[in-house]
Structure 1
Amino acid sequence: MFDHLEIRVLPRGPRYAPQLRFRVNGEDVVEPAVGPGGCGPFSDDVFPADRPSPLRAGGQPHRVQLGQPECTGGCCGYLSAVVQRSENVVLWSDWLVPADAARPLEYAFDADQYDAELTRIEADPWWRRKA
């Protein structure tokens, strides 16, 4: 059985540009690791207008930053995972977490559902429009 990914774009706030939250099987992956004052990655960094998203999984594994604590990732570390595709499965594994944070599970997504979720977010980049 595969895990299920849902990506939410949070609106611009007083301190942050629009950011992403990742839910796997209905549970937030970011906040438990970075704390309530932390943030997910900025939408424009993960879904840039001029190149493919680093969340796009190919045959070559690569590390993607998925969050940071309120004190910034440079202080306590970032939440990141290695993203890779193996046939019809996209894996998130080899987690690095901020100091004293619980390490998320390894996740295995159906590649079609995973790609469809990324495409859904890319189809309406409302966060790029100025308020």
Structure 2
Amino acid sequence: MDKATNRVSIRVAVADPEYSGTVETRIFIDDRPIVVEAFTAGPAEPPEYLLGLDHRLHAGVEPHEVRLAEADCTEGCCGALYVTIQRCGDEVVWRGWRNPDTSDLSLPAFTFDAASRR
């Protein structure tokens, strides 16, 4: 029997230029907008930060922490949303969710099929 895995999708959205014109990275896990649900003090990091040349969302054997969102004011004021990403064999694991501004962030680890292109 196959182990259940989660699904992740990343969408890039351009806001109405009449209002802000900003480009947003929207991260969905199992069709849930995980950043919006877990962090309300500011938007997700822009696509050039998460998906650009450094490709911070890339999963390697060594775990690394990625800031997915930062408060509109500053991280030092109202926090940020971080996750640790690691490749473990045929799986990618997102775990260790944290916000330096609060101790009550409670998100589970999510496991994705590393070969999936859904």
Q: Which TM-score tier does this pair reach, normalised by the shorter chain?
A: 0.7 to 0.9
SS of structure 1 residue aligned to 2:115 = helix
Residue 78 of structure 1 and its aligned partner are, at CA, apart by 1.1
Assess if the C-alpha contact under 8 Å between 1:69 and 1:98 holds in 2.
no
Write 1 or 2 for the structure with the bigger share of helix. Answer: 1
1:102 aligns with 2:105: yes
Residue aligning to 1:41: 45
Matched-pair contact (CA < 8 Å) for 2:98–2:105: no
* Bigger strand fraction: 2
Within 5 Å, which residues of 2 pair with 1:8-87? 8-12=11-15, 14-15=19-20, 17-35=22-40, 38-48=42-52, 51-87=53-89
Question: Aligned in 2, Cα 1:18/1:2: closer, same or farther, shift over 3 Å?
Answer: same
Q: Percent of aligned positions with the same letter in both sequences?
A: 27
8 A contact 1:4–1:24 mirrored in 2: yes
C-alpha contact (below 8 Å) 1:82/1:93 kept by paired residues:
yes
**Within 1, Cα distance between the matches of 2:100 and 2:35?**
11
Contact conserved, 1:34 with 1:98, CA < 8 A, in 2?
Answer: no
Q: Which has the higher contact order (CA 8 A, sep 6+)?
A: 1
Q: How far apart, CA to CA, are the structure 2 residues paired with 1:16 and 1:62?
A: 31
Query: How large is the Cα RMSD of the aligned pairs?
Result: 2.1
Structure 2 runs not aligned, ≥5 long: none
The Cα of 1:8 is off from its aligned counterpart by: 1.3
For normalisation by structure 1, the TM-score amounts to 0.74
Deviation at 1:17, TM superposition (A): 3.3
Show structure 1 runs of 5+ residues with no match.
118-131
